[in-house]
Structure 1
């Protein structure tokens, strides 16, 4: 089967690229290895009455990021401010938690019902047959006519040809899954391998409650800890004080947390919340945990073992090779601005499409 443009990856970058091509009546096919779309945008705990999901991937949109705000509004999605009213708690080793007046005043936005709503809205704009789930690329090769892809679909190998390839994967996932040894220079492969995947080595925890009891004590839900397991905690409640929740970034390295069970890690997180907030935090209604280091389509061994760094990938010296190959790298890590963020994914796509 031949397609003019084949998009690999159904996260924000891949879906945004697809909608842009569809708006211009340019034929494409998007293939996603997983059973669901979204990439690192991932929510759990959807409540049937309100369709509220709690984000275990990206949570925030920043005021200085115009494209992602504009995209959300164009899809009729509602932005609201991160709750930050009240005091902050700070936990130092071998010391009682300190209550510090006033949470940080940095303005942050969230999407009503969770970030997955952004993915769902983009998907609904596309022809159903143009997006294939459970289709993982097993081999990518360059031919004199363009690109040839071998794709695994539930154990069956499907062959596709394309003139142009848009890869919406992080750099290390390209080397992990797209056989660059068959088409890329060693310089390009080295650059891909040395660029960290944003958020890949991280784990995130969410606990939901019947009500936001911390707000009753003039606490913002914001905590910082040098003890752990969570190093940073924030209010994750839905807007209008509904569906109370707290979320935290787990600061234990993967090499350590991989030695305990998920149940043990959840219990440790609840224990920490109980330390901060007392008995009210001891019995959450739901708990969710996502360890991105265990996702084979997000993290490789380097992401699991190396310290988290912000990605920087300067494409300028590689542009001639990429142009000759007719492959476009649109994962967020490739963006010239806001690399690693949702805004970066949109920037990378817009730059690539202007060249197609």
Structure 2
């Protein structure tokens, strides 16, 4: 069988894979991007609801996310600020509380404890090297702990504990008992502190893309044209002394000098790599499962919550929706709310009929903002744990004991195979920014190797398989 010959085959047409491909193509190298889905965008998905585009996957960017902002500007994407004015809702211990600003409505002792905890965690996070978390001075000790265990030892007040639980679910789409404390600290350092992870103004939720976040991938794919192959699930990535052979489930084959695998570790586990992977990489594939989130968007005739003085923000430690935001379009048009089922709640609802999930989400919205929330004009949801080519969202989460033992396996090349994806990012890990950063890194690594004379034929010519 003949195989298509290129310099680099890239597995995955999410932001990371497409960023890698664009950078390499602009340098003059030939690439092929193979995507299992019938669309590009990976964990971003923008679709029409009620006549306007909404995001059912990743959607926010913040001012510190320099990689994605630079790329978006290059591609001519427009952004608008996330609405956050007005009263916020805190639903904890079965009681609704309201507040303004960034200080939740908690007892004074809990607020003082929470501020102390934030300072403590930010300080500890700076001691975890972003490039090598396993090199932190207490890496093994911290990795043996979950965030829940650390909280039980170091956070005495119920209010600060509740706030930390809510933040952990919102940030990781997982329970505090599932998050390695070492990974938590690395993640905080990778994203410039705990508060930027949880806030809108100046934080990671500051802005949204006009037309939806998937526009980033759609623009990248448009530049790449026929180099992107959809509905092409990869089965094997096999290498020899001369190059890499990538075969797909429908029997097609690509031959290349190098390959980039730009999918989460939990999906890379499906691939046949032939020769034995390094132990650290095998551990990463087996023990970095995805977070669990179901995202629900409801549109309305009017933004009744704004009219009542609410910002649309709500967090809760009970009920289906644990996190809620205003999801109106720019300038308030297309009134909408977006809610998240997170962690164990998402796992409890995954696979159930969409109408049931959507009704449950509307009831949560009504608890936060009033009975008008029960009368939407349209509703859509996305059950990310049920997505076969994602297996969850937002990001892969190393189980306790993993990050301190795998070394640099998430980024270290395996022979002619390189790795990209937000899980491999040093900066912006878990976000679209991290996906862009990882793609740029992978392209830089490969550009250096491709500059070495020799290797396979390039330029898209057919070669013997």
Contact 1:142–1:183 (CA under 8 A) maintained in structure 2: no
- Please give the alpha-carbon distance, in whole angstroms, between the structure 1 residues aligned to 2:211 and 2:302: 17
- Determine helix, strand or coil for the equivalent of 2:430: coil
Structure 2 match to 1:133: 230
Aligned counterparts, 1:7-46, within 5 A: 7-45=10-48
Say whether residues 1:190 and 2:319 are aligned partners. no
Aligned to 1:5: 8
Distance (whole Å) between structure 2 residues aligned to residue 285 and residue 241 of structure 1: 16
Q: Report the equivalent of 1:344.
A: 434
Matched, 1:106 2:201: yes
* SS of residue paired to 1:268: helix
Q: Which protein has greater RCO, CA pairs closer than 8 Å, 6+ apart?
A: 2
Q: SS at 1:119's partner residue?
A: helix
Q: Which residue of 1 aligns with 2:416?
A: 326
1:65-144 matched pairs, under 5 angstroms: 65-95=65-95, 97-102=96-101, 106-107=201-202, 108-126=206-224, 128-144=225-241
2:191 counterpart residue number: none
Following TM superposition, by how much is the alpha carbon of 1:99 offset from its aligned partner in structure 2, in angstroms?
2.3
Q: Provide the C-alpha distance between the structure 2 equivalents of 1:238 and 1:7, rounded to a whole number of angstroms.
A: 34
1:293 corresponds in structure 2 to 385
For 1:278 and 1:16, the matched residues in 2 are separated by 43
Greater share of residues in strand = 1
Aligned to 2:158: none
Specify whether residues 105 and 121 from structure 1 end up closer, same or farther in structure 2 by C-alpha distance, changes over 3 A only. closer
Structure 2: how far apart are the matches of 1:254 and 1:117?
A: 27
Choose between structure 1 and 2: higher helix proportion.
2
Q: 1:314 to 1:167 in 2, by over 3 A?
A: farther
Structure-2 residue corresponding to 1:147: 244
Q: Deviations over 1:10-48 (max 9, x none)?
A: 000111111112211211111100101100011222566
- Return the alpha-carbon distance in structure 1 between the equivalents of residues 331 and 48 of structure 2: 18
Q: Please report how far the alpha carbon of residue 214 of structure 1 lies from its aligned counterpart in structure 2 after TM superposition.
A: 0.8
Normalization by structure 1: what TM-score? Answer: 0.87
Q: Distance in 2 between matches of 1:26 and 1:315?
A: 32
Q: Which secondary structure does the structure 1 equivalent of 2:233 belong to?
A: strand
Give SS of 1:230's match. coil
- CA distance in 2 between partners of 1:221 and 1:228 (Å): 17
Quick one: structure 1 residues 188 and 181, their matched pair in 2 at CA, closer, same or farther if it must change by over 3 Å?
Answer: farther
Q: Does the C-alpha gap of structure 1 residues 336 and 133 become closer, same or farther in structure 2, counting only changes over 3 Å?
A: same
Supply the distance in 1 between the matched residues of 2:48 and 2:13 (Cα, whole angstroms).
21
SS in 2 for 1:34: coil
Q: Count matched residues.
A: 340
Deviation of residue 186 (structure 1)? 3.2
Matched, 1:354 2:451: no
Deviation for aligned residue 1:105: 5.9
* Contact 2:55 2:212 (C-alpha < 8 Å) held by counterparts: yes
Quote how far apart the aligned CAs of 1:184 are.
1.5
Quick check: 142-151 or 75-84, which moved more?
142-151
* 1:319 shift after superposition: 9.0
Work out whether 1:240 is the aligned partner of 2:331. Answer: yes
Q: Contact 2:293 / 2:341 at 8 angstroms: preserved in 1? A: yes
Change (3 A) 1:297 1:227: same
> Partners of 1:16 and 1:353 in 2: how far apart?
8
Gaps of 5+ in 1: none
1:161 maps to 255
